[in-house]
Structure 1
Amino acid sequence: MGLDDITRRIRAAESAAGRAPGSVTLIAVSKLQPSERVAGVLAAGHTVFGENYVQEAQAKWPAWTAAHPGVSVHMIGPLQSNKARAAVQLFDAIHTLDRVTLARKLAAQMAEQGRHPQLFVQVNTGDEPQKAGILADELPGFLALCAELSLSPEGLMCIPPDGEDPAPHFTLLRDLARDHGLPGLSMGMSADFETAIAHGATHVRVGSAIFGARNAQGT
């Protein structure tokens, strides 16, 4: 596999779903990948990358984004509230807005810095107690709080439970986004991104299938 193969599969899934070519954004998940692999994908012209760890992203992306205008970096991993300042400075999108304390921290930092990364609210579609995310029935209240804080999420994100059919979770996320007038759907990873596209995904997150296996600590 590789970037070209994943891109072809995304375009085929768009076509099969009756969607316009290019309607799905591929986030190349570069966490814990060797620099030479990321540099190769950058050289191929890809412009959207995903990271899980603020400290790792701080160490590598400022130089790369300076050298490659137009590249955007998305935060797709859990975000600690004490990393909100750095996250607003560094990322063009944050896909893991998942709790009230983080919303307050991000609102304060966005007001202070004058930067406004795209925001996606992470929804815990499986009601899993060990997983981050807003429960579906708590989403209206959370979005109301975001509005009070002058935050304007552009979409929703989910990670379906391991071992379950992801389709019902993608359907739930799509319906929630529609009901709240949110255009963005960040859902689908290497194993299920074509299913996610069939259910309306606007952003899919693919890592190893593009770059190869990660370093041991990232597996």
Structure 2
Amino acid sequence: MIRVLLADDHHIVRLGLRAVLAVADDIEIVGEAETADDAVRRVREGGVDVVLMDLRFGAGQAGQDRESGAQATARIREIPGHPEVLVVTNYDTDVDILGAVDAGAVGYLLKDAPPEELIAGVRAAAKGETVMSGAVATRLQHREEERESALSPRELDVLQLVAGGRSNREIGTVLFLSEATVKSHLAHIYAKLGVRSRTSAVAAARAAGIL
């Protein structure tokens, strides 16, 4: 039996989650939490396998600041034998998603996910498997592709000198690099910008706001 804690400050949302999960005979709701603090406190009591965590809550530990679900997730991850945390929220910005993932959430689903996706997500989370809604997975994939295509600081140095009309030898002298290394940097720059020449690289970089 997968023991689930519902952590959301909206009663009607918790009722909805209960209704969805009630049809699964291998899932049991063992508690509810209205604040981030309540969620962490309930986890410390034990007997929880998966926490369904919202991202926006009421007052946090000090009773003043609003503690987020990501912060609560990080605290839960510090508890020995901690349960897995599956974020279920309406928020899908990069900041929200990455904050939750960095905090240690095993998955991220949106509240408009189909009931069967939520149930499957709980089962997967209980096994420690990564769970991502389609929209979130796509956003993370695009972000990773952007990161991989971003120019490194050294590549940007090279490109700026190329834009200034410097030759490979001159670039090497300015940056204390061999011509072979400069050519290697240029090859990477071309690949990342999807171009085949120095002129095209400079034009593409300017169009993208890199230069």
Q: Return the structure number with greater helix share.
A: 2
Q: Which has the larger radius of gyration?
A: 2
TM-score, normalised relative to structure 1: 0.33
Q: Structure with the greater relative contact order (CA < 8 A, sep ≥ 6): 1 or 2? A: 1
What is the TM-score of this pair, normalised by structure 2?
A: 0.34
